[in-house]
């Protein structure tokens, strides 16, 4: 479905609400801007990169009042934890984040895409099993080598066994908090 940006009033909220009002699934609705009719933007791709965690979760159908689980990542400790609704620890794992010259941004994110058999389009067909993209960016969680120090190009690598468990526990729309 295509919606003219003029209808949306050219504001972020208007843009998102116009997409929702036209009844298509929010993360699949597309908008065509009059100035560049060939350029399509998904509502998800509009909200997530701007750091709007709640709007991104809403577009993914997450229950904002009853968060099932959330993920904490500590870059200084090279560790990640998955917590349940009541704050109980579900899983913990070592990770490997950015090596020198690359960056894993601290902040709040949302799992916006999951691909069990992901292959990188950036790094010459590198396999990234259990890939879970963060806020429509090029960064995500995936299985990979974890040498007890930062070693990735920005993604959050985890050991094979833990990556499979992490994949089974986490879901689209889960909130991720990354601290430096």
167-177 tens-digit pLDDT: 999 999 999 99
Say if residue 75 is in the same domain as residue 162.
yes
Say if residue 32 is in the same domain as residue 119.
no
Comparing CA positions, the residue from 70, 65, 42, 44 lying closest to residue 55 is: 44
pLDDT top residue among 101 and 25: 101
pLDDT band at 106 (very low <50, low <70, confident <90, very high): very high
Task: Tell me if 58 is assigned to some domain.
Answer: no
pLDDT of residue 179: 96
pLDDT top residue among 1 and 124: 124
pLDDT top residue among 39 and 91: 91
Domain of residue 131, CATH code: 2.40.440.10
Say if residue 105 is in the same domain as residue 46.
no
pTM: 0.75
DSSP E strand boundaries for 7-101: 30-33, 36-42, 69-74, 79-84, 89-94
Q: How many domains would you assign to the chain?
A: 2
How many other β-carbons are positioned within 10 Å of the β-carbon of residue 172?
16
pLDDT band at 154 (very low <50, low <70, confident <90, very high): confident
Average of per-residue pLDDT across 148-157: 87
- Per-residue H/E/C for 17-43: HHHHHCCCCCCCCEEEECCEEEEEEEH
pLDDT surpassing 60 at residue 4: no
- What percent of the chain has pLDDT above 90? 43
**Distance in angstroms (rounded) separating the CA atoms of residues 118 and 127:** 6
Say if residue 151 is in the same domain as residue 107.
yes
Average of per-residue pLDDT across 21-25: 51
Say if residue 89 is in the same domain as residue 146.
yes
How many other β-carbons are positioned within 10 Å of the β-carbon of residue 109?
25
Say if residue 36 is in the same domain as residue 74.
no
Q: Are 57 and 108 in contact (CB under 8 A)?
A: no
Task: Tell me if 60 is assigned to some domain.
Answer: no
Say if residue 126 is in the same domain as residue 44.
no
Tens digits of per-residue pLDDT, 111-143?
Answer: 999 999 878 777 777 787 899 999 988 899 999
pLDDT top residue among 8 and 165: 165
pLDDT of residue 39: 39
pLDDT of residue 7: 39
- The boundaries of the domain holding residue 79 are 69-179
Name the β-bridge partners of 94. 79
Task: Tell me if 158 is assigned to some domain.
Answer: yes
Task: Tell me if 61 is assigned to some domain.
Answer: no
Q: 104: which 2 tokens?
A: 């894993």
Say if residue 24 is in the same domain as residue 110.
no
Comparing CA positions, the residue from 57, 50, 64, 40 lying closest to residue 12 is: 50
Task: Tell me if 64 is assigned to some domain.
Answer: no
């Amino acid at each position: 479905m295509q919606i003219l940006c003029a209808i949306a009033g050219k504001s972020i909220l208007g843009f998102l609400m116009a997409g929702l009002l036209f009844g298509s699934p929010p993360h699949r609705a597309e908008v065509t801007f009059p100035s560049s009719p060939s350029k399509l933007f998904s509502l998800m791709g509009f909200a997530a990169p701007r750091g709007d965690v709640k709007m991104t979760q809403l577009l993914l159908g997450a229950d904002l009042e009853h968060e099932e689980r959330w993920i904490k990542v500590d870059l200084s400790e090279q560790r990640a934890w998955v917590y349940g609704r009541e704050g109980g620890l579900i899983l913990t794992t070592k990770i490997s984040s950015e090596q020198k010259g690359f960056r894993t941004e601290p902040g709040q994110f949302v799992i916006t895409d999951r691909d069990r058999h992901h292959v990188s389009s950036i790094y010459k067909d590198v396999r990234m099993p259990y890939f879970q993209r963060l806020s429509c960016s090029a960064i995500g969680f995936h299985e990979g080598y974890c040498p007890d120090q930062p070693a990735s190009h920005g993604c959050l690598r985890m050991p094979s066994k833990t990556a499979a468990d992490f994949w089974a526990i986490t879901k689209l729309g889960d909130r991720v908090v990354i601290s430096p």
